[in-house]
Structure formats: C-alpha cells, structure tokens
Structure 1
Amino acid sequence: MTTNATEITVATFNVSMEADNYLPRGQRGDQTELIKRLATGREPQIQAIAGIIQLERPDVILLTEFDYIANPAKGVHALQQNYLAVAQQGAQPIEYPYYYYAEVNTGQPSPFDLDRDGEASGVGADAWGYGFYPGQYGMLLLSRYPIEHDAIRTFRHFKWKDMPEHLETTQADGSPWYEDEAWQQFPLSSKSHWDVPINVNGRRLHVFASHPTPPVFDGPENRNGKRNHDEIRFWVDYISGEQGDYIYDDSGLAGGYDSQSPFVILGDLNASPVEGDAIKAGIQRLLTHPRVQDPKPSSRGAVEHSPDQPHAAHHTAIWRMRADYVLPSKAGIEVVRSGVFWPASGDTGYELVQKRETSSDHRLVWVQMRLK
C-alpha cells in the first residue's frame, strides 16, 4: 500500500481465531483447534482473513483474538507460511519477517469465585481474563520492519488495585465485589498491554497494543464495564507524563511513556464514545487526549449495514459500533488517509465479509501515516 520509505500503514484486526469460533455452540476446545486449522492451509475462514490482509497490505498489523500458541512453528509461522505466503482470492502473498506475541491473562485460572455465582471454576468468568483455556483471545503483532525486542515493555501483571482512583466494583450492599485476597492479585489487563518499539528505517515507532474486556456479560455491579474503562484509561495515563508514574511493567520498571518518539495505539478497545454499553468517559478521554490523533476511518459497507444509524460510517464491527482503533500520536506523525475494510455489496472483496462466519464479526481498520 505504501512506497515512500517514510510512510507506513498500520492496522488492527480482530480475527476471531480461537476455539469457540471453530466449534459448535456449547462445545469447548483449546489452542489445538487453531493449530489444526493453521496446519492445513485450507481453513476458509483463515483464508478469508489472509485475503483481507493481502488486499490491504498493512506494514504493521495487530491481530486480536489470535490464540497464544507457545510453539511458533504451530502458530505464527504456520499462519505466515500456509496462508499469508499463499495467494488468496487472487491477492498477492505478503510477508511479515518480524512478529511479537506473548502470554495473556485470558483463560489463566484464578482460585476465586470472581463472578460470585457460588462456584470457583477457574475458567470463564473465574479466570483472570475471561476465557476457557490459557491463551484464548490472545494477540499477535506482525511487522515488515524490525521489532526492538530488548526495549519492549509489557504490563500483563500490573495490578488493578495499583491504579490511582480506579473504578470500584461493589455489591448491592456497598461491600467490595471481589474478596480481598482476590483483589490483591487481580490484574488490570484482561489480556495484556504492550509497548512494542519498531525500527522504521531508522525511525522508532512505538506500538501500544491492548484488547480490553467487553463492557458487558456482567450484572448491575458493572465489573466488566469498569475494567474496560480502566484498561483504556491505562493508555491515557501512560502517555500523560507524571500522571503515569504509578505504572510498573512486568520487569519491575516504573513509570509511563517518557520518549519523544511517535506512537500509535492499536486494538479492539470494545468501546465507543457515542454508542454501546461502555463507560464512555474512558474512550472519550483517549480520543481527545492532546497527544493523540483520531482519524475516524469510515467505509461504504458499514453505512450499508446500518443505514439508519447516525454514526454508522465509522462502525468497525457487525454489531453496529466503532470498537477497533488505530490512533497515531500528534507528535512525529502526519496522517495521510485511513479506512475500514468493509466493502459494500458489489464492491471488490465483499465476499470476504458477507457473513460473520466468512471471516470475523470485526473489520480490519488501517491508517496510512507519514513519519516526520
């Protein structure tokens, strides 16, 4: 998509590549479901995902809901070799020599009854992030440019209690929702938060990646809505100077983002400033942050999908909301253009998004940018 050495296209795409997507409703699996399908090179849903990526050709892309598979030969390498390196639907193969993925909190069992249903099952809503096996709904970052692995910061183990003025979750009588022993161990990130520096022809670009929990599937206590808000707020504080001094990463290094290098915030944030069930103050603060640009990508397909909704042009999910974001910093970045891969009926590529089962219930979101 880009030819100028100072221009790159950065994208995010929730690809629904986890066990629940491949099994009949109610059946439970694990990473082996994805491993089997990656190995064949013939899974139609993954072929469609690869075809979309090949058509849009981003230089850097974050895939959310890509199961964490510890053996890269069975995970990221299989995706690259069996799908991305193979022409899909007439598109050209694409290569990403560099990648980063790591463990996430989803499916990591806790010993506590976190949803207060009377049973500490260790899975589902009783895991540290909702999931039925460790690594479910993971994240994968692919890049055409070198990743500076020694400078990566991750925040998977940052404790929610350590965020000043975090949103408190209480029961109907006002007592804490989470028992104290659980609260002392509770991570903020439902998956993880990553700060991944990429070397773009000598220029450093930081990718801030996350996938906050959906702000639903709870009760009046709104525990998921509050966690979603604070997972988004994490980035607000991280880029706000001394406001982020309380943050510590998984190696114990304290402090927020203190670099002048440009950055881009990526991911399925599961929140819209104008629609849906999220506590909107979190995403609103991020989108209006003085260091952040909001290019507001749009598509013809989204308008066709929801012609009666005023904000439809900016939707990124078939359930009629803007949920997925590529937000460049103001410093060091000029936005060239942006978009959502959501063709209208009759447009090239429409067959790749015609049904939820065809590819995903989310759309690929991209921003072409020029590094100054």
Structure 2
Amino acid sequence: MSYPMTRQRRFDPPDELFDDPAPVRPLTFADGHQGWLVTGHAAGRAVLADPRFSTVPRRLHPLLASRRVPEGEVPPGFFLRMDAPEHTHYRRLLTGQFTVRRMNQLRARIEEITAARLDDMERAGPPVDLVRTFALPIPSLVICELLGVPYDDREQFQRDTTELLRLANSPEQLTAKVGDLITYVYTLVARKRAEPGHDMLTGLVDSGELSDDEIAGMGFLLLVAGHETTANMLALGTFALLQHPEQLALVRDDPSVIDNAVEELLRYLSIIHFGATRAAVEDVTIEGTLIKAGDCVAVSIPAANRDPARYADPAVLDVRRPAGGHLSFGHGIHQCLGQQLARIEMRVAYPALLGRFPALRLAVPVDAVPMRSDMSIYGVHALEVAW
C-alpha cells in the first residue's frame, strides 16, 4: 500500500505501519517474543471487543518484559489491567460518575477555568508556552473538581501532575512521583470519609463497596487517564491546527464544526502512541489470522485510525469529516470511561483559545518544537506561541 508523500511527517505514524497491507501481521517484540501487530481498523475493533483477549499483566508478561515493566499483581483499584468480572465490578461503580448529564454540568466550570487561563496568557503577553500555561492546567483543574481536591492543595497538585508528565523518560523519578501522588490521593480519600463532599471520591466512599486502597488506586488511575491524554491533545491539536491554517480558520470561525473537529483531531493524531495490548487466553481467528492462546497482540491505534479501508484520504486532516468510529478512546469494555469529559474540554478549549487569539502562531521554527514520543503518549513537551 502506498501512502501519500505530501503528509506532514511529524503528525503521522511511522511508515513501517503501512508497508504491509495485512491488518494482522507477525511482530517480534524486543525480548524476542513472537506476537502480533494489528493495524487494520476492523481487526482492531474485533480484538478490543473480544473477551478472549486479556489485559491482565501476568498474561501479558512476555510483552511487559520487553517493555521493562516487571511482572506483578495489579494494584488495588487499577481496573485498567483487569478482566471481567473484576473489571466489571470497578467500572460499574464509576459509570454513574461519568454520565453525559454530569459531564455537561461541568461545562460551565470548564469554561471558567479555560477563560482564566486565557486571561493569564493575555496578561503575560507573548511568547508563552502553551503547554505550561494552557494545555496542562485545564485538565488538571478539571480533575481537581472531579476528585474534590481542596482549593488550598490545588497549586501543589497542579505542580505534581505537571511534573508527572515531564518524567516519562526518567523511570526512577517517575516511580517516586507516582508514589507521592498515590499517597496524596490516599490521604484525600481518608478526608472524604471524615468530610464528605459532592465529588467522585466521596461517591466511591459512599458506595460502601471499596477499601481506601481501592479508591486511592481508582483515583490515581482517573488522574493519569483524565489529565495526561487531554493535556497532550490540547497542545498537539493546537500545533496541528497551526500547521493547517485553513483547518484552524474553520475551527476559529465556524462554531458548527467543533464537534467534528475534535473527533477528527483525535483520529488524526492518535496520541496513544504505542497502542492497546492484549494476550489471547484461547485460540482466536481475527481477519483470517489464527492467534494462538498465550500470544500477545499490540493494536496500533494510530494505524487503525489511518486505515484507508475505513477512512477516505486518512492522512488528510479535515475538520469537516464525520470522523466517528475512531479508536482513540479504545473500544469494548475498556473504552475510556472519561471520553465525554475529554470531548467537552476540547470542545470548549480550542474555540476559546482561537477566539481570544485569532492571530495565534508559533513563536519558534516548526523544527524547534520539542516532540514527545515515548512508548505510550505522543505529544509536545512545549509549544511556544505568540499572537
């Protein structure tokens, strides 16, 4: 399969993902373990929706070993690495916290947070780092609202969550910071037991079905999932729009395109860089390929979202494209629980930013933008802008 050479390279998956048209192909992991790479959209959906593929670390041990992640039991509350029925139990307790109605009720607060960040940018004057001043603080403050972080703690909480993102390539420091944040969430859970509020942690405490360890684990998981991905989307999405001025103008000037624009940016950028990983618990045939019990499978979300069998001109950013069906939030029982919240944050933030600063532009050469591309997330470390 040929791939258009006019695409903007920094926003595209590696060419190797498209060298073979097969939607499922053999893959040799770094430790020599033989598994499978899924690049087709239909095949990816099939794997992610099939309960015969597990997310439990002990089943994924060969793959995790190749990524230098030690084998071990899943910490309490980390339901992302659990299968049914354990996963079902935890997710059920959170589903009521993430209803579309409740997320829409947060919209006014998200608009306030966004406006305040834009005010700060305007007062500071250009140039500013959009990551530090805009993309990171918005989801961090929204998570504070959800978890019920006291106002006196929010400044430190923001610093800690920001640092967490910057330590992706420093394993020892990252581990220490993760420990600090889990400890903080644990103390916050104890506080909610003594002083209930109207937040998500209080709701989990009131369920009466969870230990403090479980609630703290779930809270930390929500913090990382809800903060890191949205922050990267806000920054990288703005960078992509700045490199596609005709698309930026549509988002800035035509309010009717914002819903499609958010979905298209999610599809086009696919910031979950490595993809979803699974292990077959029995023999499964996907798109005519037999995957044997015990085999590890990596689903390339970026490749699936650029599958020409699913999307016309997949390498083209088109904010008018009805881009539904992308896999950026996953699929099946592990589909992102906070996807509606992330959508609302982006639907508010992009138009507000471009409306306040209609002449927004990069303050550095394109090649000087420091790209983030580790094993999990694709984004930018900083984005210097002016107006």
- Scaled to the shorter chain, the TM-score interval is under 0.3
Q: Bigger relative contact order, structure 1 or 2, given CA contacts below 8 A and separation 6+? A: 2
Give the TM-score normalised by structure 1. 0.25
Q: Hey, which of these two has a bigger chunk of strand by percent?
A: 1
Structure with higher helix content: 2
